[in-house]
Structure 1
Amino acid sequence: MSTSVRAAVFTGVGAPPRIEEVALPDPGAGHVRVRLAAAGVCHSDLSLANGTLPQAMPAVLGHEGAGTVEEVGPGVTGVAPGDRVVLNWAPPCRSCWFCANGEPWLCEHAMDGALRPYAALADGTPVHAGLGTAAFAEATVVPVGALVPLPDGVDPAAAALLGCAVLTGWGAVVNSAGVRTGESVAVVGLGGVGLATLQGARLAGADPIVAIDVSPAKEGLALASGATHFVASGGDGRAAAKRVRELTGGRGADHAFEVVGASAAVRTAWDATRRGGTTTVVGVGAKDDVVGFSALELFHFARTLRGCVYGAADPARDVPVLAGHVRDGRIDLSSMVTDEIGLDDVPAAFERMREGRGGRSLIRFG
């Protein structure tokens, strides 16, 4: 048996998605079918669509989603039909070296689900699941380990953002960088993850919090998310970094976060960081987009440059914490969403991302 659902299907690198029917198999052993309430459109989806990240095609992308368990396969425990859940696009195996050493976000097997087809087109062509989740569809089938129960009191549609943007941005601040009260923060790039990074910095008690983006139109979004200052870089990273130094006593930020995925943005964040400070790279860049540093500056500035995968988060641990922040009003998910759309509007959402417009687009189903 199978279940037919509408989905945004990507057929080749650079090709716009087509909205068509895909056939989901009944969930097998250890798998679950989830009816989606909503899915966020993330820049990582654009990176998969344009070939920056490898992706077998055809594929249904989308990895930031939340919904309701509809059917469970044999051997599934921990969730049951009717449970509300958040998708986890990097489910840890809990047994590899990284998992055993407290780094489940680096699990060796987290991407196993993305390597094999999960559904089929009407003509029988196998379809892959982007990052193993395939959230740009009315329903999906995933391993039970790719689900995190959603605590009560959180809108199940807005909760989709917890699955990537908020976990990544908040986690970069709290888990990776360990920002402390009173430390200064600069955030380069104000898409969905960048806005979540600002909210994480505000929660951590950072001050000042300087938001940087090429688009002046992002200022309102930045201030609503917790920024104390906004810098429209206009593509001039050195001028933006100079402004950060002016706002931090001439030193630069204690912590700078790159949330774009581009060498120029990494360089801006690095230049905006004080001597002895930390630059955290959150964005996913291209493998041939090389960042350059001189040997002298690496010595002289004594800065730390670190990468950050999935906010160094363990969703099973961190989603309940974030849900508590949402319930208590400390995190505002709605302020990150600039466009609520339907499945048919996914191509337009990708075009907005290419042009750097808006924050998060949120697909609401049903």
Structure 2
Amino acid sequence: MPQAIRAAVCRLFGEPLSVESVQLADPVRDEVLVALESCAICHSDIMAISGRWKGKLPAVFGHEAVGRIEAVGEAVTGLSAGDRVVLSLIRFCGRCYYCQKGDLAFCEAEFGLASRSPLTLSDGTPVVHGMKVGAFAEKAVVHQSQCVPVDERLDGDIACTLSCGVMTGFGAVANTAEVAAGSSALVIGAGGVGINCVQGAALAGATPVIALDIHDEKLEISRRFGATHAFRADMDGASLAAEVKALTHGRGVDFAFVAVGHPPAIQQAVDLTRDGGQVIVAGIPGRDDIAEIIARTFGGRGISILGSKMGSARPHVDVPRLVDLHHAGHMHLDELVARRFRLDDINEALDLVRSGRELKCVIEFGGDA
């Protein structure tokens, strides 16, 4: 039987969310019901709520979550009630063309949850299962492939960050670009994804690791995560290029990571990359945004521009690896979380994330934050 839960519902794009009671259906077949501990706010949630990605409403967004399984569908294997899991928005079959190539984020299988949301309003109106998780709520129903068992030693506010921001930023460096020791790297945007590009590059042995952001607070934070140098992203272009070239033998960086959804940042990355280097784009702009790239970038300068969706991640491989790195003292996870909020205060948390001056804000369920 469906159960009533509290959720933060987006009824109008660009407006505050409404915390209210909604109905959540039971899991069927290969689905899992998870009672949530914590859900971090990702900039993707901000984009979705703003309407820049368009889509239908009402919706419940939120996808960086951790919780404990309450119930499983009859076809679920390898997961049981009581298991603690991180939830990923990557839903995959493991059998299709993309899954066989390891590109799980592009899985082309059809899932029941893609056409049938488990959420409805009290009057029966369907609610969009936002970001394939709908985790700005006390509980969520997801496909079993979206559940990754996670270490009991990690606090919920830390564990939830693994499911998107950490995995995407670190994966852009380790999986998509495969940065080698001794390479030079630059990251545009020191937010939830970018700061993990920074620490991923530092962990890979890159030097220098250069961070760019428009907020001085983020530049200071980036140094604590492994940036050797940090500059304002909005400084004069010629001056910035001169600073970067002075650090890279006059050439520009080997790898530039774009961790913001701001199209002009892609050309900025190109301008700071050496001939033959790579630009990796991990930030997602609005649906209709267009990036203008100087055509000579490709044939004339030999620069490759690569997309990195979710850090080319395989969650069941990458999450345990990240946890191991954290326990070994190599990954900074605790320092990612700036503030913790109750669900009732989610709009305050969203405003703080929109300001761009903090890293992660986390919604905590089951008690005061």
Query: How far, CA to CA, are the matches of 2:76 and 2:7 in structure 1?
Result: 25
Aligned twin of 1:271: 271
Structure 1: unaligned runs, 5 residues or longer: none
What's the CA shift for 1:138? Answer: 1.1
| Equivalent AA in structure 1 for residue 108 of structure 2 | E
Quick check: 1:170 aligned with 2:160?
no
Could you state the TM-score of these two structures normalised by the residue count of structure 2? 0.94
Instruction: Find the residue that maps to 1:255 and give its secondary structure.
Output: strand
Taking the TM superposition and a 5 Å limit, the aligned residue runs for 1:332-347 are: 332-347=332-347
What's the CA shift for 1:207? Answer: 0.9
Query: How far, CA to CA, are the matches of 1:119 and 1:133 in structure 2?
Result: 11
What's the CA shift for 1:107? Answer: 1.3
Taking the TM superposition and a 5 Å limit, the aligned residue runs for 1:81-230 are: 81-109=81-109, 113-230=113-230
Quick check: 1:362 aligned with 2:328?
no
> Please, which moves more after superposition, 46-55 or 291-300?
291-300
What's the CA shift for 1:115? Answer: 4.3
Query: How far, CA to CA, are the matches of 2:238 and 2:47 in structure 1?
Result: 26
Aligned twin of 2:328: 328
Aligned twin of 1:294: 294
Count of aligned positions: 366
What's the CA shift for 1:38? Answer: 0.8
What's the CA shift for 1:234? Answer: 3.0
Equivalent pair of 1:238/1:268 in contact (CA under 8 Å): no
Query: How far, CA to CA, are the matches of 1:228 and 1:237 in structure 2?
Result: 20
Aligned twin of 1:253: 253
What's the CA shift for 1:157? Answer: 3.0
Equivalent pair of 2:102/2:314 in contact (CA under 8 Å): no
Deviations 1:234-285 (A, max 9, x none): 3655543432222222211111000001111112111111111110000001
User: Measured at CA, do residues 289 and 25 of structure 1 come closer, stay the same or move farther in structure 2, by a change above 3 Å?
Assistant: closer
Query: How far, CA to CA, are the matches of 1:67 and 1:207 in structure 2?
Result: 37
User: Measured at CA, do residues 110 and 194 of structure 1 come closer, stay the same or move farther in structure 2, by a change above 3 Å?
Assistant: farther
Deviations 1:98-141 (A, max 9, x none): 11223222212488735432211222221121111011111111
Query: How far, CA to CA, are the matches of 1:15 and 1:111 in structure 2?
Result: 30
Query: How far, CA to CA, are the matches of 2:194 and 2:81 in structure 1?
Result: 34
Structure 2: unaligned runs, 5 residues or longer: none
Equivalent pair of 1:262/1:285 in contact (CA under 8 Å): yes
| Equivalent AA in structure 2 for residue 309 of structure 1 | K
Query: How far, CA to CA, are the matches of 1:111 and 1:333 in structure 2?
Result: 32
Aligned twin of 2:21: 21
Could you state the TM-score of these two structures normalised by the residue count of structure 1? 0.95
Deviations 1:283-336 (A, max 9, x none): 001243222233334333211111110100110111111111111121111211
What's the CA shift for 1:159? Answer: 0.8
What's the CA shift for 1:71? Answer: 1.4
Taking the TM superposition and a 5 Å limit, the aligned residue runs for 1:299-318 are: 299-318=299-318
Taking the TM superposition and a 5 Å limit, the aligned residue runs for 1:36-115 are: 36-109=36-109, 113-115=113-115
| Equivalent AA in structure 1 for residue 154 of structure 2 | V
> Please, which moves more after superposition, 231-240 or 19-28?
231-240
| Equivalent AA in structure 1 for residue 223 of structure 2 | L
User: Measured at CA, do residues 239 and 289 of structure 1 come closer, stay the same or move farther in structure 2, by a change above 3 Å?
Assistant: farther
Aligned twin of 2:3: 3
What's the CA shift for 1:95? Answer: 2.0
Query: How far, CA to CA, are the matches of 1:142 and 1:14 in structure 2?
Result: 26
> Please, which moves more after superposition, 253-262 or 104-113?
104-113
Instruction: Find the residue that maps to 1:192 and give its secondary structure.
Output: coil
What's the CA shift for 1:2? Answer: 2.2
User: Measured at CA, do residues 16 and 109 of structure 1 come closer, stay the same or move farther in structure 2, by a change above 3 Å?
Assistant: farther
Quick check: 1:231 aligned with 2:231?
yes
User: Measured at CA, do residues 109 and 345 of structure 1 come closer, stay the same or move farther in structure 2, by a change above 3 Å?
Assistant: farther
Query: How far, CA to CA, are the matches of 1:151 and 1:309 in structure 2?
Result: 25
Query: How far, CA to CA, are the matches of 2:230 and 2:86 in structure 1?
Result: 32
Alignment RMSD (CA, Å):
1.8
Equivalent pair of 1:112/1:132 in contact (CA under 8 Å): no
Equivalent pair of 2:65/2:163 in contact (CA under 8 Å): yes
